[in-house]
Each structure stands twice: as C-alpha cells, then as structure tokens.
Structure 1
Amino acid sequence: MEEMQGVEDDNHNCRAQAESVCSPTQVCVDHDSSSDTCESTSALLLNSTAKFHLNVMTAEEYKTVYWPKLERAIEHLLTQSPMDHISISYEQIYSQVYKCVCQQHSELLYNDLMWKIRSHLEQVSSELQAGPAEDLIENFNRALTRYTAALHCIVPVFIYMNKFYIETKLNRDLRDDLMKLFSDHVAEKHIGTLLPLLKKAHSMPFQVKPSTMESVVKGLYALRPDWVPLAPALFSRFIPQIHPPALESQLLFYADQDKKLQMELHQKGFSRGDQSRKRASEES
C-alpha cells in the first residue's frame, strides 16, 4: 500500500512524518489514542518537513488525478453484479482516500462521493420507472441487493474519511448517509406503486417468491420504519414485534381474524387436507 507522509494533529490536519516510520493503518489518528503511535525524533520530523510540503496535493491535482481514479472504482462497485469477480484494488482505493484525507480534501471527497452515488441512484430510479409495473418488485429487490452489496465494499475503503470528517465534523455515519440516498432517490419515489403490488402479491401466495417478498419488505423497513403504518398487515408478516403485545380482551377478535384467513385460503384452493387420515406410521 502507498506509504503516506503525515499524521493527524488535534485539528485533523496532517503533519510531516517519515515514510518509513509508520504503516498507513497507524497514521492519521488522534494524539490521545496512543502515546507511542507513530512517534519519531524531532530531527526526523524536521528532515521530512520539506519533502512533505513538496508533495502537497492541490485541489486541482485532486480533481484531475485522484478523484477520476476513485470515481471509476466507485462506478465499478456500484454496477457490478454481487456474483461478479472484483477486478479492482481495494488497497489502492484505500490508499488514495487516505492521502486525500491527510491532504485536507475530506470535504471535496465527501461531496464528490455523494454526488456520484446520487447520480447513480437517480439512473437506477429511472430504469425502475421505465420497466414493466409487474416486474417492479423483482427489479427493486435486485437494485437494493446490488446497492447494499456495493456498500459492503465502499464504506470500508472510505473509513478514514468517515472517521476524520463525517463522524467528527458532520456527526453522522457514512453508511447511514448512503442508505438515506437510496431511500430518498429510489425507494421513496416508488413506494406508492411498490406497496400496492406487495399487498396484492401477499394476498396471492407464490405470485412472487417468498424470499423476494421478505427481502423487499425487510429492506423497506430498514430504510424507513415509518412506512409501516402504510401497510401494517404486510410488514407484520415479515418483521416481528411490530404490533403491540396481544391483549387477553382481544383473543376473540384474533380468533375471528384467523378463521377469516383460513376461509380465504380455502376459497383460493388451499386445502388443509383430510384430517381424518392416519399417519403412515399408525397404519402399520
């Protein structure tokens, strides 16, 4: 991994340090973390200061050299299938992000990352809109699954930006911010169509694969728990303990609801079978 030439001071600005003293996983930490982390003699610091400043990354260099490489890697992670072989270097991305943070370009990097992913999700939403309505559940599930798989790669390689900018300056978390982007730019735009389709599919067993139904409903709940009141019966089938505990005074009501459900299933051709038949082991 590329050796970085700086460690964080109390204001999260990188100060000069010799290349050979620390590995990238040891630098860019607060002074209060460990007294012996990346410490060097004052002479070594003085000798490396001039070299460090000769390698300062300008905003123009960030825009023309570093960000284009990171953007291509992010695009690859966002568009690859979860089953695809990953052909990019996580070590290289991690190193480039680390250097951008140490060179005080965290805000630029964060804004560019959010813009890139927001643009991608707007394209995803447009593709869902253009697809057949009857395929929306499957297509939405595929989009959400691919996106969450991409975040499993994106969030770790941007860990330094998350720690020293998002958590410190914005008091947020990178993964939360990226999931909110999906909620705002994809899920919220399709929830009005998606929930009726899910309700209909739930009333007609096996119209949609149970695993897909579960994945979508749990995904929507993770994105926005306040969507539960829009379809409480649907969410309660897949999310435990959404409803308050059963009350003894409501037992007759629950029994009546269960009876109605059994009748609906029977009318749709789902039989409980011949309860009078003995089990095979009892007939021998």
Structure 2
Amino acid sequence: MDEPMESSFDAGDTAQHHREFVLDQSHTPNAILNNQNAVVANTDSALTNPENCKTDCAVEDTSYSKTHTCFTPLLRPGSMVMMVLTEEDYETQYWPKLKTAIDQLLNMKPGAYSPISYEQMYSCVYKCVCKQFSERLYNDLLSHLSTHMEYLNSELKSCGCESIPFIEKFSFLMHQYMQALSGIVPIFNYMNRFYVETKLKSDLNEELKKLFRTKVVDAHITVLLRFLEEVSAVPFAISPPTMASVVKNLYALNKDYSKLNPGLFSRYLPNILPPTDPALLEQYAEEARRYQAHIANMSEFRSRGSSSKRVFEDDISVN
C-alpha cells in the first residue's frame, strides 16, 4: 500500500488559477481551452460537493502541473485497513465459525476426512489477529479445548476398572486428538506466528499437546500404566500395534513417563534401560531363565506330548 502523501492542496487557489488561465484566450488553442474549462468546472464541483472529487478528476489535464492533482482517498471503504472488527462481530461471527470447525476436527474419527474450508478459517484468524484480537482468540481456543478435555476424562471414567476397554478407549481418544491438532494448528498458524511465537515465546502445537498432557494423561497415567502392565502378561490381549502406539505416544508427550515403568517402555522403545554391564552377566542369565520358566508354565505354550508329530496331522506315505 502506498504511503499517505502530505498535500497542501487549496481548491480555491487552484480554481482562481484556472480562471485566469482561461481568460487569456489569445495564447491558448481551442482544444486546450476547452480542456481547461472542463477542469475549472470539475474544481468548482469539488468545492461544492467533495463526494464528486474522485469522479470529476477523471478528466486529465496534461498541461497542468502534477503538484496540483486532485487528492483521492488512499484507503477505500471495504479494504482490510478500513474494516472495523468489534467485539460483537468477533463473538457473533468470527469465533462461532472457528469453534464449529474445531469441534468438527475434534470429533472426527481417526482416518476420516472433514470438509472444512481451511481458506475461510485461516481468513477469520488473519482478520482477528490484524484487529488486535490475538490474545482473546488464543484464550478462547485454550478454554474451548479445556472443555473438550473434561469430556475426554468423562469418557475414560466410564470404562471403570476394566483394563482392556480402558486402554482401547485411551488409545482411540489420544489418536483422535493428535489427528485434530494436525488440522487445528494450520488454521491458527497466523496467530501462532505473530502472537504465540513472538509474545509468548512458545509454539501452538506444543501448547496444545501440553494441555492434553496436563488435563488428561497426568490424571490417568498411574492407572493406565498398571493396566498396560497387566495386559502385557497376556499375549495378544491388546493388539501389538495398539500397545506400541500408546507407549510411543506417551513417550512423545513426556519422556519422564518412561521412568514410571522402564521395563514396560523398554519393550517398545530403544535406549530406555541403561547400557549392558558385563559385570551383571550372571544377573541377566538368571532373568532369562525366569522368563523361560514363566513361558513354559503358560497353558498356551505347554507341550502336547513327547511325540514330534503335529496335532491333527495325517500320516503321509513316503512310498
């Protein structure tokens, strides 16, 4: 946008200058005289009705000095700079649209697609930030997601003390929320750049993960790890991909979770336990023997007899 120009335009002096110029017709060709008369008429019109200034100045005066051109407004109505965004506009138009899009992303099933106009949502955020609503927008976003965290907690509490339903529900809700962040963060990218990173010295994606960690995970981490340890003793009680996903996502949210149960995390992540010490080889061998004895006593892995013949295998003649 061009910078505003200072102008000493005096409509009265300009009109008088044109009148004196027109009076000296002996030195002015007819074509230029007619053009000057049009300029005089336009100037008089601008004096009596400033609204006509923009239209009347369409007539060019090639022989007239550029320093006396008619002034037109640099900021026209409807432009971004002239737009006024009131609190009522924010509360009734902009935030409701953004909140609807957020809810669609939060409630979308993992792997599904929600038809959201990211261009329209990004435009809403852009206008709110440009009109000094950054702090209000950021606080409303965190407040709305905090309300969603309460819903997630109620969903987990509904599973009661049943380990398998609790783990599966937790895995689903965590995956759903992480997927929603992949759509929410890009929508609020402009706010992230010019408010969260600049003023708060943080990152929106990390702040929203932190919110899930403090509001949901920290409230259930003790019960969750106990259930994970229980089901890990039963082969395939929970599908291996689900177990691995839960443990890896917990570690990504907070590495300190691994300190609560290093043995559990070490089954799915490297470098959780300290390096092997040669002085402890006898201890490692004893642990291996205990695991082998535990597996041998499990009904699923007991031998079905001394015969090498597989169960239900028909005799096959080699002749």
- Into which bin does the TM-score normalised by the smaller protein fall? 0.7 to 0.9
| Structure 1 position 59, deviation (Å) | 2.4
Work out which of the residue numbers 238, 255, 267 in structure 2 matches 1:208. 238
**Given that residues 109 and 176 in structure 2 are in contact (C-alpha distance below 8 angstroms), is that contact kept between their aligned partners in structure 1?**
yes
**Cα distance in 2, alignment partners of residues 82 and 91 from structure 1:** 23
Gaps spanning 5+ residues in structure 1: where? Answer: 1-5, 7-14, 17-44, 278-283
Match for 2:75: what amino acid? S
Question: 1:110-259 maps to which residues of 2 (within 5 A)?
Answer: 110-134=138-162, 135-259=165-289
The 3-state SS of whatever aligns with 2:74 is helix
Distance 1:52 1:93, change over 3 A: closer
**Given that residues 106 and 177 in structure 2 are in contact (C-alpha distance below 8 angstroms), is that contact kept between their aligned partners in structure 1?**
yes
The 3-state SS of whatever aligns with 1:262 is helix
| Structure 1 position 84, deviation (Å) | 2.7
| Structure 1 position 261, deviation (Å) | 1.0
1:94 to 2:122 alignment: yes
**Cα distance in 2, alignment partners of residues 52 and 142 from structure 1:** 42
**Cα distance in 1, alignment partners of residues 146 and 273 from structure 2:** 34
**Cα distance in 1, alignment partners of residues 284 and 136 from structure 2:** 56
| Structure 1 position 272, deviation (Å) | 9.1
1:85 to 2:110 alignment: no
**Cα distance in 2, alignment partners of residues 46 and 253 from structure 1:** 85
Partner of 2:314: none
Gaps spanning 5+ residues in structure 2: where? Answer: 5-71, 309-317
Match for 1:216: what amino acid? V
**Given that residues 167 and 227 in structure 2 are in contact (C-alpha distance below 8 angstroms), is that contact kept between their aligned partners in structure 1?**
yes
**Cα distance in 1, alignment partners of residues 80 and 122 from structure 2:** 20
Distance 1:242 1:46, change over 3 A: farther
Match for 1:120: what amino acid? H
* Count of residue pairs the alignment pairs up: 238
Partner of 1:57: 85
Which consecutive segments of 4 or more residues in structure 1 shift more than 3 A?
A: 49-54, 269-274
| Structure 1 position 85, deviation (Å) | 3.0
**Cα distance in 2, alignment partners of residues 156 and 250 from structure 1:** 50
The 3-state SS of whatever aligns with 2:75 is helix
Work out which of the residue numbers 75, 95, 112 in structure 2 matches 1:48. 75
Cα root mean square deviation, aligned = 2.6
Distance 1:179 1:204, change over 3 A: same
Q: Looking at both structures, which has the greater relative contact order when contacts are Cα pairs under 8 Å and sequence separation is at least 6?
A: 1
**Cα distance in 2, alignment partners of residues 130 and 178 from structure 1:** 24
Match for 1:66: what amino acid? Y
| Structure 1 position 206, deviation (Å) | 1.0
Distance 1:191 1:244, change over 3 A: same
